[in-house]
Chain A
């Protein structure tokens, strides 16, 4: 009966939508509002620019050998930093093309020869992802003092996560580590005044960004200013405060988690490589998984959200993708999703051999297929995956609705992830915390059509009431109750959607049984896969004493990290230890002593499922 009603409602909504649009689209578009935080009127879909997509295509890349030589020459003082800013050092052309059912990047350096790497093992998957990209965000304005890194400068967008390395000190000794923590021989650690200045600078230009701050490192909780930094970020108006953390501090000192929550810390972007101690052994702590469980328990008790983040390395932990998602689904009361990061060979891995690089290379397309295989097709690579930048389409709607609020204008634009479609993709799941039922949203909701509807609604730009009415009609016509998981009603889904939109549609309610889980793949570049079209629209800027630099330009490509850290190092590590005391480093494949480790639900301990098997206790 309910399904029949749903079907009737859906059809009526479809008719209503078509009727309304026959009038709406025949009228001229209303000019977009120009809120104070934006550099101009809100962009209509046809005004949004796009980077070159598809293949074959040419782009600007880096020679993996020239870059290292140039960077080292700058660090030794043999070359001037200006050479890097103005000289396009190490830059070479690259061609992205389909070959033998894969997408490859090829480039040739006159001095060091040819380089090749894999960008995708499924061209159709990549084509679908690129086709769903809604276009770039604003071109930045008034940011000359912040974005001043030559060809590595960020040119578009308002960013999604502002990353700030508080310290390069760390209490672990991992491999891989893209910053080579504890090994570089010096300490780079921001003062509280520097942190405040960086946070102030990042909201000094337009678009004035509503973004999350992610404190990183090293291990950011080792910075003496971690708590104060959380507090200050919240005070000046940042949307959420995260930390990319290994979680050891919270397991060792639960009181710190409560203090951090009180100071403003919202979300632990939580290093998490697998659901067994064995799957974490490359981190060189023999009971690391047990320690992680303790940390999760403490963080959850303190009210801090958790998103596990897993670096995926082919031949090391690629079989953990499914078990890890099982773990997140089983603990969906504690976690908001999971972020998979296919390995980028940088830091200690920059000297990797070609053979090892080919063996360990892992892409988002690998991941999409692994999840399809693990869940027996329940997560579909072509139906369920969207570029991270697709979320920007929802920001457009949120910005539009807020701009129609009259005098109550927000001082920040909405959180907008508008990165290049090759930078990352994600699947959105709905999951019931009580019954553990879950499914991809796109199983029962036509996201592709909904996003087109949203673009049309914002482009035509009618008043608030008419905008909301159109959103409601679109919502109804794209929801298919027959395909929704048991218990997921239209109203429940609307509440979830509204919550993720920050309450833009109606009063926000606290989530009850149902939640949305984000399963993301973020593929940072390295010297072999580098594409300047990606860095110039980076949404994860690294904020430093030398301005904001694209994540990849900072960590994995040009290697601004080494340059900035050398410019601003505060001590040699040896001197630091002598004058300020040593910190403990957990390594050597020994266990950590952590009192009170309790078990959380672990639904799979990494046995390899049979091909095509549907292995989950959650679905």
Chain B
């Protein structure tokens, strides 16, 4: 059993060396009603930790069974930040694979080159991809809707659900605990459009970045974060830090008007001022509430440190 002392963001406590272990620890011990919130167009939907963990396990079992994913493989996730992309990232990371996030808003040619550079064993795409994008992948999963030759998200979780026996679930956890701190975890693409290069943070580096991000901002029961940035490394690190702190509920991926009702303690938004059609981030809940770094690095300068601002 992994204790709460291994959760990130708790002042004075040393986190373990891997993101995979932090995930297990947070799922085992947490003090929040939900880890994620997303708006379905009508109302806020909660994803409690038990459901989130089960989705991660089931997706990991699915890719293990259907794509023979092994530690060291790469998994491409061509999607904006959303609950599904987060599940996909953690399913890969927890099994020792590297999750490479690719911004779907890039020009199609840039996306194609990014996937080519990634050479993924498994690709998760937000919507139907061009056929040639993911031809090398052993499995292709469409996060939203269906696509020719791709597994629908619901199909992947459905099959993973049947595979989700206690023996396999514990095998998943055992493998997650064994992931080496120096194994690649978070992939990102750096460089210009013409010369993209896939770079990685190891599990240990990711944990160190998350710790730095949360220095002075410990987890607090009832805290709410709102993350609506592109899938930059910095935004992903912030998102992971909220998930694994065991306390924060994170609203992810819906920059619409409904966010006003959230009253988040932290906001992780797109670079600079809000773009057209996106309302400004809501005011902090109270005067002392923390405003997370809104100025996250845009995609091409990904990988730089971000800092927490009051």
Q: Which residues from A are CB-within-8-Å of B14?
A: none
B162 near A255 (CB under 8 angstroms)?
no
A228, B53: Cα distance in complex, Å: 13
Q: Does B27 contact A (CB under 8 A)?
A: yes
A583 to B166, CA, bound (A): 9
- The distance in angstroms between the C-alpha atoms of A258 and B167, with both chains bound, is 17
Alpha-carbon gap, A584 to B164, bound state (A): 11
Contact A259 to B50, CB < 8 A, known contacts A224-B158, A253-B170: yes
Chain A residues lying within 8 Å of B257, measured Cβ to Cβ, are none
Number of A residues, CB within 8 Å of B: 23
- Are A224 and B162 in touch, CB under 8 angstroms? yes
Q: Is B16 engaged at the interface, CB distance under 8 Å to the other chain? A: no
Return A43 CB to nearest CB of chain B, in Å.
41
Is A255 in contact with B158, judged by CB distance below 8 angstroms? no
Contact A222 B165 (CB under 8 A): yes
In the bound complex, residues from chain A placing their C-beta under 8 Å from that of B158 are 224
The reply to whether B159 and A252 form a contact with Cβ atoms under 8 Å apart is no
Interface string of B144-177 (1 = CB under 8 A from A): 0000000000000011011111110110010000
| Distance of B39 from chain A, by nearest CB (Å) | 19
Question: Chain A contacts of B28 at CB under 8 A?
Answer: 255, 258
Residues 408 to 458 of chain A near chain B (Cβ within 8 Å)? none
A581 interface residue (CB < 8 Å to B): yes
Shortest Cβ distance from A222 into B: residue: B165
Among residues of A, the one whose C-beta sits closest to the C-beta of B173 is: A255
Per the bound structure, the CA–CA distance linking A581 and B163 in Å amounts to 6
Name the A residues within 8 Å of B167 (CB-CB).
252, 584
Q: Which residues of B contact A231 (CB under 8 A)?
A: 48, 51
From known contacts A255-B27, A580-B159, infer whether A262 and B48 are also in contact, taking CB-CB under 8 Å.
yes
Whether A518 is near chain B, meaning CB under 8 Å from some CB there, is no
Contact between A263 and B169, CB atoms less than 8 A apart? no
Taken together as a complex, chains A and B put the C-alpha atoms of A125 and B35 apart, in Å, by 56
Indicate if the CB atoms of A584 and B165 lie closer than 8 Å: yes
Chain A positions 208 through 245: 1 when the CB is less than 8 Å from some CB of chain B, otherwise 0: 00000000000000101101100100000000000000
Is A115 on the interface with B (CB-CB < 8 A)?
no
B113 at interface by CB-CB < 8 Å: no
For residue A394, give the distance in angstroms from its CB to the closest CB of chain B.
Answer: 34
B:199-232 near A, CB below 8 Å: none
Q: How far is the CB of B106 from chain A (nearest CB, A)?
A: 36
Main secondary structure, interface of B, reads helix
- The reply to whether B51 and A256 form a contact with Cβ atoms under 8 Å apart is no
Task: Contact check, B54 vs A255: say whether CB atoms are below 8 A apart.
Answer: no
The residues of B that contact A583 with a CB separation of less than 8 Å are 165
Q: Are A580 and B162 in contact (CB under 8 A)?
A: yes
Q: Using Cβ atoms and an 8 Å threshold, which residues of chain B touch A227?
A: 50-51, 54
A225 to B163, CA, bound (A): 12
Look across to chain A and name the residue whose beta carbon is closest to the beta carbon of B164: A224
Give the interface SS of chain A, mostly helix, strand, loop or mixed. helix
Contact across chains for B49 and A224 when beta carbons are under 8 A apart: no
In-complex Cβ contact of A224 among B27, B50, B161, B170 (8 A): B161
B65 is an interface residue with CB less than 8 A from chain A: yes
Instruction: State whether the Cβ of A324 lies closer than 8 Å to any Cβ in chain B.
Output: no
Is A121 interfacial (CB-CB < 8 Å)?
Answer: no
**Do B53 and A259 touch (CB < 8 A)?**
yes
Q: Give residues 462-488 of A contacting B (CB, 8 Å).
A: none
B166 and A259: CB pair below 8 A?
Answer: no
* Bound-state Cα–Cα, A583 to B50, Å: 22
Known: A227-B50, A227-B54, A262-B49. A249 touches B166 (CB 8 A): yes
Nearest CB in chain B: distance from A29 CB, A: 48
Contacts A225-B161, A580-B159 given: A262-B166 contact, CB under 8 Å?
A: no
- A248, B53: Cα distance in complex, Å: 20
A231 and B164 alpha carbons, distance in the complex (Å): 18
Chain A 250-270 per-residue mask, 1 if CB under 8 angstroms from chain B, else 0:
001111101110110000000
Provide the residues of chain A in CB contact with B173, threshold 8 Å.
Answer: 255
Given contacts A227-B51, A259-B50, A263-B50, contact A580 B163 (CB under 8 A): yes
A132 to B163, CA, bound (A): 50
By a CB distance below 8 angstroms, the chain A residues around B58 are 224
A227, B48: Cα distance in complex, Å: 11
**A263 with B162, Cβ < 8 A, contacts A253-B169, A256-B169, A581-B65 known:** no
Q: How far is the CB of B34 from chain A (nearest CB, A)?
A: 10
Nearest-CB distance from B177 to chain A (Å)? 12
Interface residues of B in 1-16 (CB under 8 A from A): 1
Question: What is the CB-to-nearest-CB distance from A268 to chain B, in angstroms, rounded to a whole number?
Answer: 15
Q: How far is the CA of A256 from the CA of B167 in the complex (A)?
A: 11
What is the CB-to-nearest-CB distance from B200 to chain A, in angstroms, rounded to a whole number?
A: 29
* Chain B positions within 8 Å of A252 at CB level: 166-167, 170
Partner of B54, one of A171, A258, A259: A259
Binary interface profile of B, 39-50, with partner A (CB < 8 Å = 1, else 0)? 000000000111
- Within 55-73 of B, Cβ neighbours of A (below 8 Å) are at 58, 65
Contact flags (1/0) for A170-198 with B, using CB distance below 8 Å? Answer: 01000000000000000000000000000
The residue in chain B whose Cβ has the minimal distance to the Cβ of A261 is: B50
A119 to chain B, nearest CB (A): 41
* Contact residues in B for A263 (Cβ distance below 8 Å): 48, 50-51
- Nearest B residue to A221 by beta-carbon distance? B166
Closest A residue, CB atoms, query B162: A580
Chain A 14-56 residues near chain B, CB threshold 8 A: none
In the complex, A584 Cα to B48 Cα: how many Å?
Answer: 28
CB distance from B297 to the nearest CB of A (A): 36
Cα-based distance from A231 to B46 in the complex (angstroms)? 12
Which chain B residues lie closer than 8 Å to A260 at the CB level? 50
Shortest CB distance A291–B (Å): 12
B residues less than 8 Å from A259 (CB atoms) = 49-50, 53-54
A224, A225, A256, A258: the one within 8 Å of B166 (CB): A256
Tell me whether A228 and B165 are in contact (CB under 8 A). Answer: no
State how many angstroms separate the Cβ of B252 from the closest Cβ of chain A.
20
**Which A residues touch B48, using CB under 8 A?**
231, 262-263
Least Cβ–Cβ distance between B90 and chain A, in angstroms = 15
CA distance A584 to B167 in the complex (A): 8
Residues of the B chain whose Cβ atoms lie less than 8 Å from the Cβ of A584: 165, 167
Distance of A263 Cα from B169 Cα, bound (Å)? 18
**A224 to B27 alpha-carbon distance, docked (Å):** 18
Q: Which residue of A lies closest to B61 (CB)?
A: A581
Residues of A within 8 A of B165 (CB): 171, 222, 583-584
Give complex CA distance A590, B166 in Å.
18
**Residues on A with beta carbons closer than 8 Å to the beta carbon of B164:** 224
CB interface residues, A 127-169, toward B, < 8 Å:
none
12 new A-B contacts at CB < 8 Å, known A222-B165, A224-B58, A580-B163: A171-B165, A224-B162, A224-B164, A225-B161, A227-B51, A228-B51, A253-B166, A255-B53, A263-B48, A581-B65, A581-B163, A584-B165
Nearest first, the 8 A-B pairs at minimum CB distance are A224-B161, A259-B50, A252-B166, A253-B166, A580-B162, A262-B50, A249-B166, A583-B165
Q: What are 7 sample pairs from A and B whose C-beta atoms fall under 8 A apart? A: A171-B165, A225-B161, A249-B166, A255-B53, A262-B48, A263-B50, A580-B162
